[in-house]
Chains A and B, each alone.
Chain A
Amino acid sequence: MKALMTTWLTAMLLLLSGLAQANLTIEITRGSDRATPIAVVPFAGGDDFPEDVAQVIHDNLERSGYFAPLPRRQMLDRPSEGDEVRYGNWRSLDVRYLVVGSASREGSGYRLRYELMDISGERRMLGELVTADQNELRGAAHYISDQIFEAITGIRGAFQTRIAYVTAQGVGDNMQFTLYVADADGRNSQQVLSSPEPLLSPAWSPDGRRLAYVSFETERPAIYIQDLASGQRVRATSFEGINGAPAWSPDGRRLAMSLSKDGQPEIYVMDIGSRDFQRITNSSSIDTEPSWSPDGRSLVFTSDRSGGPQLYRHDMASGQQERLTFTGNYNARGRYSPDGEALFLIHRSSNGYQVARQDLDSGRLVTLSDSRWDESPSVAPNGTMVIFATQQGNSGVLGAVTADGRASFRLPSAQGDVREPAWSPFLN
């Protein structure tokens, strides 16, 4: 068992020596005024554990934009089980929900017990016993966060998901690009690939086991598919010209992409098993950035056939294409919401390039972010949040905003520019 100071000193040395991984730290930049007040009481018995489970749950709930967790210093007491809860105390703090729990070691792992209490109803909503292996304490906290989130909002929680992203250091001909996957809160980052040549457009397979991405490691762009567990990979395409923007079909069997081998970038769909190609667009304009609808029946893509980039929808069955965006002169990189009712995209206006949401029924477009240089929006699998790349000062950072635009946070990194975030599907 390490002494606290030794652990802290070690951490400082790692930071200063630059050996730290590219873990991303979170800053809340804007909290929602509709957030539900909740309190997560520190779990009894877990003081010397490597993770503060209640803090992880607190941070998850806060970051979702749906909850406003009470700071610990304001807590009047610290119950660890439902029977100990004095509802008046929490009502006086305007808390509507309360999470209490306890933690103990069991063998080489842990045993966690938690309860979710409804303060106004003065009743227990949820209670569970969770066991976790030695390295799974944080994962257990994410699991508990998911249960709490879903019990209150009715929406499936996405705290056990992951993100992929790319970091870049250097400039011009002297750069290093690294592709990482990490937990959705930026922790536990693991390197997938590092290269002196560009890496971009990571895309998760629907089963969460593989990443497709574009790599220039042969000094030409090619699309690769890599199995995350084994590290094995195959090169899916390496045509002349652009090989870009890979997008998995919902059934995981096809990859939409942009290829310029025929003279200008066009959308193709490749059957991964047979390597058959189906050409989707045929125009003298740029057609790129394809993405599938959740039902697999449509592809949204970026095309500048009207003079500037706009989003179009291609119907896979009929082959019909229709323009979707009409607001402003730059709309690109569309991604469907999981319910198929909206697109998240990059919209340019006098305020710069920003993440926006367009309702597909009404055609109404609303800007979500308040930064100016946004790109690469990626939607959480439960549709509640969009992660994207943006600039802070001179650095590339990741930002995130709730799907309704009410709450936002940034994830700065200590290691170079961060870009190209991709949110995994549900993994549990």
Chain B
Amino acid sequence: MQLKRGLKPYARTLAVALSLAFVAGCSSSGGTQDGSMDGTRGGAGSGVAGSGVSGSQVGGTGVGTGGAGQQADGRIPQQRTIYFEFDSDRIRSEFESVLASHARYLRENGSARVVLQGHTDERGTREYNMALGERRARSVERFLSVQGVSPSQMEVVSYGEERPAARGQNEEAYAQNRRVVFAY
């Protein structure tokens, strides 16, 4: 089925103009947030570690009793996303307690398995970003391993820039996309 088959030039010009208008009207404005974000965001815009986020406060309301992710009853920690700086796979100090809580959960639940999903912002080439996302997830895997988590409980999968949490060509969106997600 072809959209513009059979149109004479005038009508086709109209159809093209209208289709362009349709495209313009449908362009999304601003980023949208992934509902699974737990309120803590990386230092959007400044890229400086520790801007606005510390280990014991988690930004939003409702999460944070007893510190980031400490669940005394053995449930999976609530904070399941950590964020990274541009071009970096370094675990930021403000997220260490989050990782520690996942490490504790995994050590205490030997049959639990987690997929560490690595992501990047959308800048740059796609397959190279796939590799950068993997680096981030592997960085988390190493941290958990040092904390005593068995390798058999962890798997690393990179999505590169393919599954952005937020859309937009701005620092805020990029910061939300540079992340590793704990998928149980």
Contacts and interface: CB of A to CB of B under 8 A. Distances in A.
Interface stretch (A143-151, A237-245, A399-407): A237-245
A245 to B, nearest CB: 4
Interface residues of A, number: 67
B95 interface: no
B14 to A, nearest CB: 7
Given A171-B34, A200-B162, A394-B168, A15 B125 contact: no
B125 A375 contact: yes
Contacts of A327: none
A88 to B, nearest CB: 27
Interface in A379-422: 391, 393-395, 412-414, 419-420
A288 B167 contact: no
Interface in A176-233: 187-188, 198, 200-201, 216, 219-221
A332 interface: yes
Contacts of B123: 353, 373
Contact of A171 (B2, B23, B29, B166): B166
A265 B131 contact: yes
Contact of B5 (A50, A171, A333, A394): A50
Contacts of A52: 8-9
A255 interface: no
Interface string B1-19: 1111111110100111011
A414 B22 contact: yes
B169 interface: yes
Nearest to A175: B163
A4 interface: yes
Contacts of A75: none
A142 to B, nearest CB: 15
B19 A414 contact: yes
16 contacts: A11-B4, A12-B15, A50-B5, A52-B8, A171-B164, A171-B167, A172-B34, A187-B4, A245-B127, A264-B131, A288-B128, A332-B125, A346-B124, A353-B124, A373-B123, A373-B169
